[in-house]
Structure 1
């Protein structure tokens, strides 16, 4: 799937994970502790970045290293998929039903407390874990690599977390460490409410209106900004929008619209002409009752900065990086990519949108992508492919595809539809 397409797909998936739990056996939320295993003041960890999402290695109990998305919008650790060779040896487990965003039904999960979580130089005791009985997100196929779960608040609440998107490094500091302020950095109040971190920004709408919005800070959402129209009568759709499938929450599919804001402003930083998503009210109804928030701020904005999330001191620091002034693109090709065998270089068209360059040249769901602009896909990682087909409007793309036993070529030009 394209970077922009995945941006849409995940834009509302993660920020409302298991906050709403109805349990056949109500879990007891024990106090957990996450700490450095040495007297070091900080630990630096490399991460992988796919679809703007941060992937880090985590061990649960005596498991092998598992791939987790680091998501500031999620409350509890969630296992979304295990493979035949994975073993967690969970402590006591009770069956629960989890409800989230979307138009579908509750899904079953196992809740387990008293576990051990380990990262390089870090350990968490009495760790609470939810294991989904159904892989509703299909993260591994969409990320092009095995993805086992999502982790968030347990990390952010215990450390000062510095995310360097340029170098793909995560640095965790002890809460008593005082960081030197960089010259280009700006600090913002970080409002922690019920495990969620909120920031206030401004949206300049195309109707000329400017208003302040309260947004969940969400490293696990790969889009720019998502806005909930019912939360403020002054929020309005842009004049040019497109119907879009915005993602899949725990409760099912989420649909809505995509359109551009004149600008989004955070302190002294102004980001012009960025796409925003506007989910349908029915799918986000549970979120409308929480903390009077107007939406969420995703990683397609955050990755233009080095981000320091300081939950212990209620502070956010942003330092612009080399990507800060790059334009925001959205699904320029009009198709999405999945990997049926995660970890391999086999890429399949998983969805084609109507009235897009891909649709007009006859690309269909299920087509295998063999090469792009003369480069064979077997020699490319998923992020490299996404960067190529979602680079800029006007770029010419040549693709070789395979459908059943037939190999054929197509040519098209990347185009913005909003």
Structure 2
């Protein structure tokens, strides 16, 4: 699987992979401790970087680092995806395993460890259950544009009351029971298989009002993915477009992108929400997901300042300045990934059929040199994503390198959904 393919939305591969890893690591959790502070400290905080709605924090492992990790409510064990970390940490006594069962003849080599310590800010944990992938099949660094080493989830969130302040880009965490007034509306949580679930109300055109159970996954960059309804594929709305939603162990995951007119979360109502509808056989039928309808992602969560209280099974939501930001899908038909060799370079990984990019003569594999005559070297992925969603009918000048030839293309953005 090359970087062109891996750099697409990694969420669906994560869903399939982590479902297996959770089961394998369950035996290792017996030695697990929680994150804690030394001395009388009860509270800590770290700043984070936000890229494509995902939270990147500095993590120290075995007193080395910091390493960039995605803080992700959608994973259980610590997951190390960048294989270079094994050499950096001089890890030994790793238990090799092969993850199988998805796709045709596909096996993933990985290692398990329960001997690692991890540190976030002033909080640390010993013996954290860890899965280490032998090959970086998630391609997080290509997807995010900076070096990413893995995912940190349940063992951090289960140790503290965790406030994610998307406004200030800061994670504040305190020991359960610490006296603190938490701002926001209360939304009940259920913790199932180390993941938080909530109930939301979907107001759809074709099906009317649906009460849906969704996993709260701030490690998914989308708004919402609707996968199943009554143990069957979730019906795709009439007004939708085909889309490649990510990569699974056996290849690309196809589906559709549409909109949900209204989603109610507690007392909050979000309107005209972009929604993904993966093909059932590509995702839901291949995982161990039962009695859930989908996945609530960071394009919704980032519109709030969110506090997770796993101990009391509560989530607090307080809307921030992004709450009324319109939900927009890409208007160009371009998907972008990053390579660093050693300079940061942006390439086009995929072109949507009949999209503005295809009509403008953009090809897969083209390197982006500039956008609207601003050098790509001065831009990050957030800048590029924002530009490619910046307005129906807007013209975007793209300078590209195609096999050594410099071309300038004009793309006229189109709101396709």
- TM-score by shorter chain over 0.5: yes
In structure 2, the gaps of 5 or more residues are none
Per-residue Cα deviation, 1:35-85 (whole angstroms, up to 9, x for no partner): 123422321111111111111111221432211111101011111113389
C-alpha distance 123-286 of structure 1, shift in aligned 2 (>3 A)? farther
Alignment of 1:216-227 (within 5 A): 216-227=215-226
Q: Normalized against structure 1, the TM-score is what?
A: 0.91
Instruction: Give the aligned partner of residue 315 of structure 1.
Output: 314
The correspondence of residues 18-417 of structure 1 with structure 2, limited to 5 A, is 18-21=18-21, 28-33=28-33, 34-83=35-84, 87-98=88-99, 105-182=106-183, 185-207=184-206, 209-231=208-230, 235-249=234-248, 252-285=251-284, 289-341=288-340, 344-417=343-416
User: Structure 2 length as normaliser, TM-score?
Assistant: 0.91
Deviation at 1:252, TM superposition (A): 4.8
SS of residue matched to 1:118: strand
Larger CA deviation: 334-343 vs 143-152: 334-343
| Cα distance in 2 between the residues matched to 1:239 and 1:38 | 59
| Alignment size in residue pairs | 412
Deviation at 1:166, TM superposition (A): 1.9
CA distance in 2: counterparts of 1:78 and 1:286, whole angstroms: 23
Given that residues 54 and 219 in structure 2 are in contact (C-alpha distance below 8 angstroms), is that contact kept between their aligned partners in structure 1? yes
Task: Say which structure is richer in helix.
Answer: 2
d(CA) in 2 for partners of 1:393, 1:195:
41
What is the CA distance between 1:235 and its match in structure 2? 4.5
Counterpart of 2:128 in 1: which secondary structure? strand
CA distance in 2: counterparts of 1:333 and 1:94, whole angstroms: 45
Q: Aligned-pair distance for 1:291?
A: 4.3
Q: Secondary structure at the match of 1:330?
A: coil
**1:394 shift after superposition:** 2.8
Query: In 2, Cα distance between the equivalents of 1:167 and 1:377?
Result: 27
Greater mean deviation of Cα atoms: 223-232 or 126-135? 223-232
Moved more, 210-219 or 234-243: 234-243
Conserved? CA contact 1:25–1:94, under 8 Å: no
For 1:137 and 1:192, how far apart are their aligned partners in 2? 25
**Cα RMSD, aligned residues only:** 2.7
User: In structure 2, how many angstroms separate the alpha carbons of the residues matched to 1:266 and 1:22?
Assistant: 28
The answer to whether the 8 Å contact 1:91/1:115 transfers is no
Q: Which shows bigger deviation, 38-47 or 284-293?
A: 284-293
- Taking the aligned partners of 1:25 and 1:272, their CA distance within structure 2 comes to 39
Residues 292-323 of structure 1: CA deviation (Å, up to 9, x unaligned): 11111000100000010111111000011111
Q: Is the 8 A contact 1:102 1:253 kept in 2?
A: no
Q: What SS does structure 1 have at the residue aligned with 2:135? A: coil
Q: Deviations over 1:352-406 (max 9, x none)?
A: 1111111110111121111112211122222222222222323321121121221
- Check whether the contact 1:263–1:270 (CA below 8 A) recurs between aligned residues: yes
Tell me, in whole angstroms, the C-alpha distance in 2 between the residues paired with 1:342 and 1:200: 45
Q: Secondary structure at the match of 1:140?
A: helix
Deviation, 1:138, is 1.2
Q: Give how far 1:24 is off.
A: 10
Unaligned runs of 5+ in 1: none
Q: Which moved more, 1:129-138 or 1:391-400?
A: 391-400
Higher deviation after alignment, 313-322 or 264-273: 264-273
Shift of 1:275: 1.5
Q: Is the 1:401–1:409 Cα contact (8 Å) retained in structure 2?
A: yes
Alpha-carbon distance in 1 for matches of 2:275, 2:399: 32
Q: After superposition, what is the alpha-carbon deviation per residue over 1:314-351, rounded to whole angstroms, capped at 9, x for unaligned? A: 10000111111111111211111111117843211121
